[in-house]
Amino acid sequence: MSALLSCIMAAMFLFPPVQETENPWTEKVSAAVEKAERLGSVAALAEALDAAWRGDAWQTGLELAQRVREKHAGEEALGGLAARAFWRAGHIHAAERMAARIARDTRDRVALGVLIATHLARGESDAAERYASRLEPLSQTAVDLSRVIAARVEQNRLDGIAALLRKTQRLANAENGYPEIYIAEELDGLAEFFDVVGTEPLNQIARHGEAAMPALPVINLPGCMMTINGHGPYRILVDTGGSITLSIDEAVAEEIGLKSIVDASIRGVSGKSTSGQAVVDELKIGGIVCKRVMTRIFEVRKAVAYSCDGILGTGLFADGRMTLDFERGRLVVAPSSERAAAGNAVDLRIVSDAKLIAPVTVQGEVAAALLDSGADVVAVSPSRLKRIYPDRAVHTARPVGALGVGDESTPQISLGPGVDLELAGRTYKNVSGLGLDVLDTTLGPVVGVQTDILVGMAIFRDMKSCTVDFPRCKMWIDWLEQE
């Protein structure tokens, strides 16, 4: 079980690297909170919220944000800070309600950053771009500029991106704490990449269509056949938790003559590794055709037990509507539409590099879930398990087998009581109990939203279909009849 679990998690987490530099703000949080409690002033509370953010003490930040909501909701100086803390803690609706109170003509940099993030997550890229245009001339930090870059990339506006990336790298300083402790390395190589690829939009859907999507051997996850620049066919994993890129094995790149533009680091469940960065001119998946596809090159086959040759991050279809039709075994890509798809609507948010985040209910409490077809498990963050069962034993975390991206470390799992889970109108009783440490240590910090539940193929297999309309940030789940 351990080797298989590690293998399927390899597809779950293909992130830019998280910097292992010690965060200098970690030890400053408690003193800032104590000062806020002693003085009770708005200024001291703002300092505490900022310290909790920089120290990535998101649970402390949540408590402070709740205090703002209860006692200082009208304080303009605290609105952006509190909304940011709610967002980082995975309290998405609370963050959005707090952000809705921010003055639309604000010049507060934190508030503008929150407005960009919340609008992007709801597919409101025009609004995000307006706030990014206001934030750019005010920007003083790498975090400010990273928000601007996110808004521009979402609209595939690549002019000037390389210069913004270089400026962001120059400003990034680990002494500023989270998230700057890893921003510089996260952006490593990207400016050089965009210098070469130019300003023509990437990840273009040239032809809508569909393709057969059977289960892959060994790992039993959804897969398709693809051709790359006319070469192939090759087998790919269809991964909603993947990214906005195609990842292919080094041997495949060599076979088809695809050269890396620049090397960069990526992080998987087993640590850090090096990845080439390239652009595929034409990707065909059945009747689906994409042009100028952002591509990573690394040891994919090893990472997924040699079950496939590549991983398709479904964020690549950001300009269209994607349906994973499990009942018919088909991947369908169609134009975005106002028309509702089959099934129950899901209150979707799309964050970071096209991660699909949805609210679920766990033991009667709302939590944020990552919907990930590249995993075969349902898992809970250890921090959430401890909060749900403070007086019950959660077995000591232990390392999982060594398959996966990276070669520095192994993920750890812990075992506790099962949980009741509700998603899109369907309830699961006593599911999982598997604690997965990377939900706390890797996923949350990188995407900027604490995500306590991983929903993998163990639940996707109960669906007739799952449809995501990326531009409109809409999702529908059509369930199979329960036996």
The predicted pLDDT at position 399 comes to: 56
Sequence spans of domains, the chain: 17-186, 204-335, 344-479
The correct answer on CATH 2.40.70.10 for the domain covering 204-335 is: yes
Over range 276-280, report the average pLDDT.
96
Q: What pLDDT, on the 0 to 100 scale, is given for residue 268?
A: 52
pLDDT digits (tens, 9 = 90+) for 444-462: 998 999 999 999 999 999 9
Averaged pLDDT, 318-347: 97
Which one of 21-30, 85-94, 257-266 scores highest in mean pLDDT?
Answer: 85-94
Whether the predicted pLDDT of 483 surpasses 50:
yes
Q: By CB neighbour count within 10 A (0-12 exposed, 13-18 middle, 19+ buried), where does 80 fall? A: buried
In this prediction, residue 1 carries a pLDDT of 33
Q: CATH homologous superfamily of domain 17-186?
A: Tetratricopeptide repeat domain (1.25.40.10)
Q: Residue 240: pLDDT band by 50, 70, 90 thresholds?
A: very high
**pLDDT for res 2:** 36
Q: What tokens were used for 254?
A: 């060599």
pLDDT of residue 266: 67
The domain covering 344-479 belongs, at the CATH homologous superfamily level, to Acid Proteases (2.40.70.10)
Q: Which residues contact 393 (CB under 8 A, 6 or more apart)?
A: 416
Tell me how crowded residue 199 is: count the other CB atoms within 10 A of its CB.
13
In sequence order, the 6+-apart residues with CB closer than 8 A to the CB of 280 are 228, 229, 246, 258, 292, 293, 295
- pLDDT-based confidence at residue 282 (cuts at 50, 70, 90): very high
- pTM comes to 0.92
Determine phi and psi for 91, rounding to 5 degrees: -90, 75
The pLDDT of 463-482, averaged and rounded, is: 97
Q: How far is the C-alpha of 59 from the C-alpha of 444, rounded, in Å?
A: 12
Q: What is the DSSP letter of 327?
A: T
pLDDT-derived band at 267 (thresholds 50, 70, 90) equals low
Please tell me the distance from the alpha carbon of residue 347 to that of residue 261, in angstroms, as a whole number. Answer: 38
Report the pLDDT averaged over residues 400-416: 59
Average pLDDT of the chain is: 90
Q: List the structure tokens of 68.
A: 């703002």
Supply the pLDDT for residue 263.
87
> What secondary structure does DSSP assign to 340-402, as a single string?
--SSEEE--EEETTTEEEEEEEETTEEEEEEE-TT---EEE-HHHHHHH-TTS--PPPEEPPS
Tell me if domain 17-186 and domain 344-479 are identical in fold. Answer: no
Whether residue 264 is predicted with pLDDT greater than 60 in this model: the reply is yes
**Region 391-420: what's the mean pLDDT?**
64
CA dihedral (26, 31, 37, 42) in degrees, to 10, reads -70
Give residue 409's pLDDT band: very low, low, confident or very high (50, 70, 90): low
Peptide bond into 233 cis (omega under 30): yes
Report residue 256 CA to chain centroid gap: 30
**Tokens 């057969």 sit at which residue?**
212
Q: Which of 191-200, 265-274, 412-421 has the lowest mean pLDDT?
A: 265-274
Q: What is the C-alpha separation between 394 and 422, in angstroms, rounded?
A: 22
Cα torsion at 157, 163, 166, 172 (round to 10°)? -70
